[in-house]
Chains A and B, each alone.
Chain A
Amino acid sequence: MNKWPGLFKLATMPRSSIQRSCSRPIPGIASRPLIPVQHRSMATSTSKSNSKDNVSAGLYTAALLFGMLGLSYAAVPLYRLFCASTGYSGTVQTDRSKFAPDRLVPQAHAPRRIRVTFESNTSDALPWSFKPELRELFVVPGETALTFYKAKSKAKDDVVGIATYNVTPYRAGAYFNKIQCFCFEEQRLSPGEDVDMPVFFFIDPDFLDDPYMKDVTTITLGYTLFNANKAPHLAPVAPSQPAAMPSS
């Protein structure tokens, strides 16, 4: 019941909830929240605290933004470190222990020989004919094997080619180790020259212990030759004399 109608602006709350919100009803005084007396100062302080809240929220957002930006820059070297140490997703592990002599032992307990087939592709911009000398080779894990690709230049002048390779099935790629081949470095052929390009490789003995490799009977090595002249930032290496060999 409203005993002081002019003095207080009553909150339009249902009486039952008002009574619940008061801890102890004081007899004789309307048990209603006392909003009006402090109404104006609360309004000012509300707007002040609102703007303070806004500023702090803005600062938090800005901090978050710069934090995320910094993280995305830091992610590049961090990810590189992570990949190099764990070899995740095919990162090159420059680990010479993979090629230690005790790993290059033909595994006599292998159930069967693995068939390695060879494919070749040439870019249209490269006027060479490029074919594998051998279509397939049967090897045992740990046994080093040698195969050849034949390339013949049909151009009128010197052409520099560069090769990349891939191994299928992808999951077997981790076990396919090349000791020496002709990929990733520029190879120069004079007009009409034909040359044999060897590939010396082996399949890691751990291949036999991997359950995912149980059904792998054929591994395909594919080489693709590109024209290095079309890549302007590549400079062809000087023609190698027999005495001067590139060492890597």
Chain B
Amino acid sequence: MGFGRPSNTESTSGSPPLLGSFPLDHEGECKEFMKTYMQCLRDNKNNNGACRELSKAYLQCRMDKGLMDKDDMSNLGYADIMKPAKN
């Protein structure tokens, strides 16, 4: 704890995530999606903006295999890359 610091400085962080914890993918069901995503990032110099389709595909795989709560992709921040037909 620090006294006299401005209130915007965090002294502790560690807030829990919104949707909780990902269940572990013990069987590696979505490993292929992960590999494609990683490869894309390596090709694009780790620029997140270039590989969002693939990260969306990975999360879709998780939802399909029951490793993640099903949710609309626009709630997860993919509204900008959703195809117009889906709206």
Tell me the A residues contacting B by CB distance below 8 Å.
88-90, 92-93, 96, 98-99, 101, 104-106, 113, 133-140, 142-146, 148, 164-167, 170-171, 173-174, 176-185, 187-190, 193, 195-198, 200, 202, 210, 212, 240, 242-243, 245-248
Does B87 belong to the interface (CB within 8 Å)? no
From B19, B20, B59, B66, residue with most partner A Cβ within 10 Å: B20
Residue in contact with B49 in the complex, picked from A105, A136, A140, A148, CB distance below 8 Å? A140
Complex Cα gap A193–B12 (Å): 33
Q: Which of B21, B24, B59 meets A146, CB within 8 Å?
A: B59
Contact indicator B13/A180 (Cβ below 8 Å): no
Please provide the chain B residues from 53 to 78 with a CB less than 8 Å away from any CB of chain A in the complex. 55, 58-59, 65-69, 74-78
Taking the closest CB of chain A, its distance from the CB of B78, in whole angstroms, is 7
**CB < 8 Å neighbour of B24 from A88, A105, A144, A240:** A240
B10 CB contact (under 8 Å) in A140, A145, A174: A174
Q: Of all chain B residues, which has the CB nearest A116?
A: B48
Alpha-carbon distance between A188 and B57 when the two chains are bound, in angstroms: 26
Q: Closest CB of chain B to A185's CB: distance in Å? A: 4
**B21 closest partner in A (C-beta):** A185
Q: Closest Cβ of chain B: how far from A53's Cβ, in Å?
A: 39
CA A188 to CA B22, docked complex, whole Å: 13
Q: Give the residues in chain A near B45, CB-CB below 8 Å.
A: 138
Q: Count the A-B residue pairs with Cβ separation under 8 angstroms: how many? A: 165
Contact B10 A245 (CB under 8 A): no
Q: How many residues of B contact A (CB 8 A)?
A: 48
The interface of chain B, by Cβ under 8 A from chain A, is 1, 7-26, 28, 31, 34, 37-38, 41, 45-49, 52, 55, 58-59, 65-69, 74-80
Which residues of the other chain, A, contact B79 by a CB distance below 8 angstroms?
101, 104-105
State whether A137 touches B12 (Cβ < 8 A). no
Can you name the residue of chain A whose Cβ is closest to the Cβ of B37? A146
Interface of chain B, main secondary structure: loop
Contact A167 to B18, CB < 8 A, known contacts A106-B49, A137-B41, A146-B58: no
Chain A residues near B26: list those with CB within 8 A: 190, 193, 195
B24 and A197 contacting across the interface, CB-CB below 8 Å: yes
**Chain A residues within an 8 Å CB radius of B59:** 146, 200
B76 and A248 within 8 A (CB): no
Q: Is the CB of A170 within 8 A of B13?
A: yes
Are the C-beta atoms of B17 and A136 separated by less than 8 Å? no
Partner of A148, one of B7, B38, B52, B78: B38
Which B residues lie within 8 Å of A187 (CB)?
Answer: 21, 24
A245–B45 Cα distance when bound, in Å, is 34
